[in-house]
Amino acid sequence: MTAYDPNNIFAKILAGDIPSVTLYEDEDTLAFMDVMPQAPGHLLVIPKQGSRNLLDANPAVLAKLLPVVQKLANAAKEAFDADGVYVAQFNEAAAGQTVYHLHFHVIPRHDGLPLKPHTGGMENIDVLKANAEKIRAAL
């Protein structure tokens, strides 16, 4: 297993070195909007403790993380009046991982509407902020 690289983009978000549209924060966890959403409301939930992905994560960190994923999944579903919620998590490049700090994708889904490609186009910041506002209101 490759070592955790503390210079990854999500570590920089956690450090406040690059901006993000934040949805939720507690002592152990941060949730924010994905800048290349696969559907409106696509968000990410990350632990503050660094691990490359699920495979090397501390189980105690995972125990605190999943309830937050659940909270955000319910909020995103309600905010977008979705039919379902897709929760995804990739481990290593072969599985589609591109950022090497553990994260869960949470994406509201509507019947019959396909997802946009993974890491496709950047969304307008005002759209991200407006979508974040809806999710925060449902938290």
- Report whether 108 contacts 72 (CB < 8 A): no
Catalytic residue among 42, 101, 103, 105: 103
Among 58-66, 67-75, 95-103, 130-138, which window interacts with ligand 5GP (CB under 6 A)?
95-103
Task: Based on the shown chain and the rule CB under 6 A, indicate whether residue 86 belongs to the binding site for ligand 5GP.
Answer: no
Task: Based on the shown chain and the rule CB under 6 A, indicate whether residue 87 belongs to the binding site for ligand 5GP.
Answer: no
Q: Is 118 a catalytic residue?
A: no
Q: Which of 84, 98, 125, 127 binds ligand 5GP (CB under 6 A)?
A: 98
Three-state secondary structure string covering 19-33: CCCEEEECCCEEEEE
Name the token pair of 84: 């379902």
- Report whether 105 contacts 88 (CB < 8 A): yes
